Amino acid sequence: MSDNIVVGVRVRPPIAREEADRPAPLHWHITGTNTITQVDPANNNKVVAATPYAFDRVFGSEYGNEDVYAAVAQPIVESALTGFNGTVFAYGQTSSGKTYTMMGEKKNPGIIPLAIQNIFHTIQNTPDREYLIRVSYMEIYNENISDLIAEREKRGKSLSIREDTSGSVYVTDLKEECVNCEENLLALMRKGEKNRHVGVTNMNERSSRSHSIFRMIIESRERSEEDGVEEAVTVSHLNLVDLAGSENASQSGATGDRLKEGGFINKSLFMLGRVISQLSDGERHVNYRDSKLTRILQLSLGGNARTAIICTITPAAVEQTISTLRFASRAKSIKNKAIVNEVVSEAALLKRYAKEIKDLKRNLEHERKCDKAQEVEQVREMLDEEARKNLELLAKVNELKTKLIVSSLPRGKTPVVKKNRARRETWAAPAIAQAMRTSLAPMPFASNKMDLCFRRPELPPWTEHRNVSFGSSLSTDSPDKLSDCSITSDDFGTQDVSLVLNAAEQSKLACLETVFESPEPSNITTKRRRRKVKFDITPSPPTDTKEAACFTTTSPATPKREGMFSLAGTQTTPGTPAHVLRSRNLKLTEKLMVQDEWLSNWQEEMRDLQEFQKKEIRVLEESYENKIGNYKLLDPDVEQKQSLCQSLHDAQTLLMDANRALTERSQSNERLNHELEKVKEENERRGTCEQELITLRHQYNEIKKKYEDRESKLNQLENERNDFDMRMELKIAKQKQKEEDIRRSLEDAWQEIAAYEKSNMDEVKRRFQQNVELQKQLSDLSADADAQKKRQVY
Ligand SMILES: Nc1ncnc2c1ncn2[C@@H]1O[C@H](COP(=O)(O)OP(=O)(O)OP(=O)(O)O)[C@@H](O)[C@H]1O
């Protein structure tokens, strides 16, 4: 997302200088909170231009620094705390109030101290993050960058601008000091402010002669509870810039150094204006490199920063204010693309994923708890209950399946059955046939053979009627006996089915036994009882010959009569008539057939039962699916939740993978770190050597410089001496000339005197010398007399 540069215009009240003689005429009129119009004070404040200038905010003289800060700078300062680069700068003509706005006064702090306050207050109220704040303060004076908070000896040094591989511009050797409290930061600000170049001009008693950039570098990261876990670090630069004011030499009255400074100021502001125009016109090439100011502010203008410009104007000025407002209008259309500057380590990334997963879980939990939660919970409980029942049923069904298979195998597959079938023919020994005939005669199943067998139960639907009586139709005539043959679903469900079936068989056979043991008057029965008819009943028919032996009569003398069972003492005697034997045989064969039929019915019944159970399972599964469908209808978010669960699961898998990768990475990092350490040590050694070399070079250069200085001084002295010699020679020559001239004129004078006295010249010369000597003696005597007088006075 791109942000327009925020532009605010601040009109300061007229100051004493402007109102020295008379109230200053005011040429600007503010309408509303964001427009300003030029008016003509000489013409009853008539609006000069039809269209007013519109900005994000226009502050009249009644607004204080805090208002300007809150409306324009605060959002930028606060977003710097969240990782966005930010720049606030004050632009305007000299004496329009830029420094007043940025620095303020003791009782009315400006944007920089307010930002410092704001930053520490926010840090105080953000306990879950930790911050590191560094500060630098530089000025651009006459196109030279210097450090305002560096030590005294380094302060005058001109710093250069460099660009790193990512395209970020930085100033080399600029001191960045870490600060941990508001007071320290304010102290640094004051220190820098003191070192700024200021000067007196006609327009301002304390005119800033340089552009100053107060920069705070804010690093922050979430406070981690786990030791050693690195969080993502956000790094942002907050630039608070107080520009020097454009000035008109004729107005400022600048001369000498002030004039030179003014030239640099105007030139760099012109470059800034050009960059702003190029950016607002969307030009491809922007001349950032033409001045140090635009180069340093490159990111803040059309780059990765949130920027605000506060244009300060004086209500009394016209031309300069129009120029400022034009600059402001152009700046308003510039768009920046600010992004959070974050340095994310893999560990931090992982932690972030984990947090996202945690949030997802929490959301899911929250959704569960919201309005539909109760309904959903009910359905879920129903489903759980249903699922539990289904599981129970499935377990039972499986159990039954196994049992059924186990219990049906010997009957259907083992040769024993065949054996039995074979035996059936031998089973109806004449005695038993007789016994059966006589003992079974009064019983109903003697006339209705089917009653003896297990009929396929008329099973009611499984779920509706759980009680199943397999033997209910065994016989209506002997209810007490037959009731023993009944099995219920409880039996079915809780007991081993083979036992159930065996119980059924036992019951049936017990019926038979009862029948056989019926106290009906019968000789055979009596005989049979005497001979102790023995039913060897096993849970299932024997599968091997040994077991088959259990079915035999106790008499070892009848090995051929092995069969399903045989009756001791029912052997035919030689006296038994043949037709009786035949009839018994017939009856027993019939019985065997009935048994056989019963067995096959039972097997069929078991198969049906298995089929039925399968169907039942299908019905249950369908109903389970239907319920899930209903549940989905009740909770339309269920799919979303499922997909959330799925993505949660995926994310956890990803997390595990990433953890693995991280471990590998950290291992290789460790190795790399180790190597890096070595390289660092090597570098340090090299660095020390280089440092020594640099120091030596430095010393050499200094010595060389001194030597050169001295040499040049020597040259200079020599030159001077030559000059002096020449001058002396000239003077001596002149003196000689003078002396010659004097001697000649003296000679002339002596000649004239001799001619006048009509004597010779030697006489005149001698008298002249006598005079000179006498004058000398006279001055010596008067000096002695003065000295004597002085002594007498003391
Ligand atoms: N809003 C204001 N309210 C009251 N006085 C103000 C306001 N703005 C500026 N002044 C006064 O105007 C004078 C000039 O202000 P200041 O030095 O801040 O201007 P400047 O734009 O920084 O000038 P220069 O570019 O020359 O440094 C100062 O005396 C200051 O106190």
Q: What is the mean pLDDT of the chain?
A: 74
Atom 11 of ligand 1 has which residue's CA nearest to it?
97
Please tell me the distance between residue 198's alpha carbon and the centre of ligand 1 in angstroms: 13
Lowest mean pLDDT among 27-31, 499-503, 746-750: 499-503
Give percent of the chain above pLDDT 70.
70
Residue 229: what pLDDT?
A: 58
Pocket test for ligand 1, best of 67, 204, 210, 313 (most atoms within 8 A of CB): 204
17: CA distance to ligand 1 center in Å? 11
**Mutation pick for ligand 1 pocket among 10, 68, 99, 314 (CB with most ligand atoms within 8 Å):** 99
Considering the domain delimited by 3-344, tell me its CATH architecture.
3-Layer(aba) Sandwich (3.40)
> Which residue, judged by its Cα, is nearest atom 31 of ligand 1?
100
∠ CA 595-572-548 to the nearest 5 degrees? 45
Ligand 1 atom nearest residue 92's Cα: 21
Ligand 1: atom nearest CA of 96 is 21
Average pLDDT of 573-588? 72
Q: Is the pLDDT reported for residue 50 higher than 80? A: no
pLDDT band at 559 (very low <50, low <70, confident <90, very high): very low
pLDDT of residue 558: 38
Confidence of residue 92 (pLDDT cuts 50, 70, 90): very high
Quote the pLDDT of residue 537.
38
Task: Extract the annotated binding site for ATP.
Answer: 92-99
Where does residue 625 rank: exposed (0-12), middle (13-18), buried (19+ CB within 10 A)?
exposed
Q: Which of 362-376, 502-516, 545-559, 674-688 has the lowest mean pLDDT?
A: 545-559
Band the pLDDT of 438: cuts 50, 70, 90.
very low
Average pLDDT value for residue range 25-32: 89
pLDDT at 452 over 70: no
In the reported structure, the alpha carbon of residue 140 is separated from the centroid of ligand 1 by a whole-number distance in angstroms of 20
Question: Residue 477 has which token pair?
Answer: 């005539």
Ligand 1 centre to CA of 14 (Å) is 10
Mutual angle of helices 256-280 and 319-332, in 10-degree steps:
40
Q: Is 223 helix (H, G, I), strand (E, B) or coil?
A: coil
pLDDT confidence tier of residue 403, bands split at 50, 70 and 90 = low
pLDDT tens sequence across 477-491: 333 433 333 333 333
Q: Is residue 672 predicted with pLDDT exceeding 90?
A: no
SS3 120: helix
Which atom of ligand 1 is nearest to 63's Cα? 1
Give dist(CA 80, CA 70) in Å, integer.
15
pLDDT of residue 498: 39
* Of 103-107, 391-395, 757-761, the least confident: 391-395
- Which is more confidently placed, 298 or 309? 309
pLDDT (tens digit per residue) in 326-344: 999 989 888 877 788 777 6
Task: Give 429-465 as a 3 state SS string.
Answer: CHHHHHHHHHHHCCCHHHHCHHHHCCCCCCCCCCCCC
Counting ligand 1 atoms within 8 A of each CB, the residue from 89, 100, 211 with the most, and so the one to mutate, is: 100
- How far, in Å, CA of 513 to CA of 443, rounded? 12
Angle formed at CA 523 by CA 519 and CA 527, multiple of 5 degrees: 85
Residue nearest to atom 14 of ligand 1 (CA): 95
> Measured from the CA of 90, which atom of ligand 1 is nearest?
21
Annotated binding site: 92-99
- 70: DSSP letter: I
Q: How far is the CA of 207 from the centre of ligand 1 (A)?
A: 9
pLDDT of residue 590: 81
To test the pocket of ligand 1, the residue of 10, 15, 247 to mutate (highest count of ligand atoms within 8 Å of its CB) is 15
Residue nearest to atom 3 of ligand 1 (CA): 12
Give 3-state DSSP helix, strand, coil % of the chain, rounded to 5. Answer: 60, 15, 30
How far does residue 89's CA lie from ligand 1's centre (Å)? 15
Picking from 80-89, 355-364, 564-573, 678-687, which range would have the lowest pLDDT averaged per residue?
Answer: 564-573
Nearest-atom index, ligand 1, CA of 103: 18
Q: Are 93 and 246 in contact (CB under 8 A)?
A: yes
pLDDT digits (tens, 9 = 90+) for 70-87: 999 999 999 999 999 999
Enter the pTM of the model. Answer: 0.49
How sure is the predictor about 505, in pLDDT bands with cuts at 50, 70 and 90?
very low
**For residue 100, which atom of ligand 1 is closest to its CA?**
18
**With 0-12 CB in 10 A as exposed, 13-18 as middle and 19+ as buried, what is 386?**
middle
What is the percent of the chain with per-residue pLDDT over 90, rounded to a whole number? 25
Whether residue 554 is predicted with pLDDT greater than 80 in this model: the reply is no
Most confident of 209-223, 432-446, 595-609, 640-654: 209-223
Quick one: tokens of 85? 């680069």
Q: What is the pLDDT of residues 125-166, one digit of tens each?
A: 999 898 999 999 999 999 999 999 998 888 888 999 998 887
- Dist. CA 237 → ligand 1 center (Å): 27
Pocket of ligand 1 (CB under 6 A): 12-13, 15, 92, 94-100, 204, 206-208, 244-245, 312
**pLDDT category, 460, cuts 50, 70, 90?**
very low
Q: Looking at residue 410, what is its pLDDT? A: 42
Query: Using CA atoms, how far apart are residues 248 and 108, in angstroms rounded to an integer?
Result: 29
Ligand 1 center from residue 74 Cα (angstroms): 21
List the structure tokens of 440.
Answer: 């079974």
> In sequence order, what are the beta bridge partners of 171?
161
Instruction: Say if residue 514's pLDDT is above 90.
Output: no
- Quick check: 530 pLDDT over 70? no
Backbone angles phi, psi at 761, to 5 degrees: -70, -30
Residue 159 contacts residue 173 (beta carbons within 8 Å): yes
Read off the pLDDT of residues 165-210 as tens digits, 9 standing for 90 and up: 877 889 999 999 999 899 999 999 999 999 998 888 878 888 888 9
Whole-number Å distance between alpha carbons of 455 and 472: 9
Question: 295 alpha carbon to ligand 1 midpoint, in Å?
Answer: 27
Domains of the chain: which residue ranges?
Answer: 3-344, 394-451+461-631
- Segment 734-757 shows an average pLDDT of 88
Q: Which residue has the higher pLDDT, 753 or 362?
A: 753
Q: Which of 25-29, 430-434, 519-523, 595-599 has the highest mean pLDDT?
A: 25-29
- Most confident range, picked from 415-429, 436-450, 597-611: 597-611
Question: 254, exposed or middle or buried, with CB in 10 Å at 0-12, 13-18, 19+?
Answer: buried
- 15 Cα to the center of ligand 1, angstroms: 8
Cα distances from 182 to residues 112, 344, 764, in angstroms, run 12, 28, 101
pLDDT at position 346, please?
Answer: 62
